[in-house]
Amino acid sequence: MPILVGSRGSDLARTQVRQYLELLAPLCPGVEFKRRVITEAGDRDRVSLLADVAGRSAGSAFSSRLEAALAAGEIDVAVHSLKDLPTSMPDGLVLLAPPGREAVEDALCGSTLAQLPHGARVGTGAPRRAALLRAARPDLELVPIRGNVPGRLAALKGRNRVHAVVLAVAGLRRLGLEDHITEVLPLDRFPASPGQGALGIQIRSDQQELRTLLERAGDHTVHAAVRAERSMLAELHGGCSVPVGAYVTQEPEGRLLLTGQVVSLDGAVRLTAASTSRADDPEKLGAAVAQELLDQGARDILAEIRPAAAGVR
């Protein structure tokens, strides 16, 4: 029986599955993998999906049709962009060690930050990116743009064009669109979204054999790093719609250095905390950095933001 590997239908999602299977195939000789695209249900279906799960009082609701398809056995593996996955996992599903990570950083396409004229229009839909841009350049006009990666690049052209857009280096590279990168933004001033650049490889928790098979492609250093980043986010009770950045860098002797930031939407307040630990308890490291941010006042910043940012991904 082939192993069914599902993703959403965007170019990026399909490319990620293709690249993942290219990595996996030589590590799993004789195993057949088949790709399946799971399209998102409409909003109404999505709501009923969530209500249905809530009614069964599961640990948490499925965040997407893709997770629901995995839980229902329509697919055996779900391949996500890790940064788009909520930190709480539905009962019965687990995340495995992801394969090697793409670049973590965000990029500016269309102009460098320094070359943007006063009052220039910059496209981004993400509150984190908007807040970090406001902190760096309060003069900019931020234009909310949505859609897939090629669609966002298209905002650089046409009548209502923006001077620049912010996109993840990872997505651009995976799609072969890295030529559009004008500047890679430095992580200390533009910390990435937790998990950015990594895949979220999700299976049902009772699939022990499949887990052993897929872990052949897992990178344990990347796994420790993203667990630290995501546990920091979870401790702050944040999702992908809050201006929280986190990134791990490797230290000597395999230690992890986790840096976390919380930024107010207007960019006026930026809290930064960092801590190091051995790689064997990344959740503890994430919790420690989150606690330091909370001690600095992160709760007030996040409380202000949550109502405004609700529903924006």
3-state secondary structure of 69: helix
Determine if 236 is a binding residue for ligand PBG (CB under 6 A).
no
User: In the complex, what is the shortest distance from the CB of residue 170 to ligand PBG, in angstroms, rounded to a whole number?
Assistant: 4
End-to-end Cα, the chain, rounded Å: 36
Closest CA to 271 of 283, 262, 258, 284: 262
Among 63, 196, 241, 264, binds ligand PBG (CB under 6 A): 196
- Considering the rule CB under 6 A, would residue 168 count as an interface residue with ligand PBG? yes
Task: Spot the catalytic one: 43, 45, 84, 106.
Answer: 84
Q: Quick one: DSSP state of residue 255? A: -
Strand, coil or helix: 4: strand
Among 81, 202, 261, 264, binds ligand PBG (CB under 6 A): 81
Site string for ligand PBG, 99-138 (x = CB under 6 A): ----------------------------------------
Report helix, strand or coil for 5: strand
The residue among 132 and 287 lying less far from ligand PBG, judged by its C-beta, is: 132
Closest CA to 91 of 116, 115, 128, 62: 62
Name the residue with tokens 């909520």.
86
Contacts of 312 (CB under 8 A, 6+ apart): 125, 126, 127, 241
Question: Is residue 197 close enough to count as binding ligand PBG by CB under 6 A?
Answer: yes
Q: Is residue 91 flagged as an active site residue?
A: no
CA gap 96, 209 in Å, rounded: 13
* 8-state DSSP, 123: E
Q: What is the x/- site pattern for ligand PBG, positions 15-54, by CB under 6 A?
A: ----------------------------------------
Among positions 135, 170, 232, 288, the unique one binding ligand PBG when judged by CB under 6 A: 170
Instruction: State in angstroms the smallest separation of the CB of 194 from ligand PBG.
Output: 10
* Minimum CB distance to ligand PBG smaller for 84 or for 281: 84
Q: Is 84 in the site for ligand PBG (CB under 6 A)?
A: yes
Which tokens is 52 given?
């249905």
Interatomic CA distance for residues 54 and 172, integer angstroms? 36
Residues that bind ligand PBG (CB under 6 A): 81, 83-84, 149, 167-168, 170-171, 196-197
Catalytic positions are 84
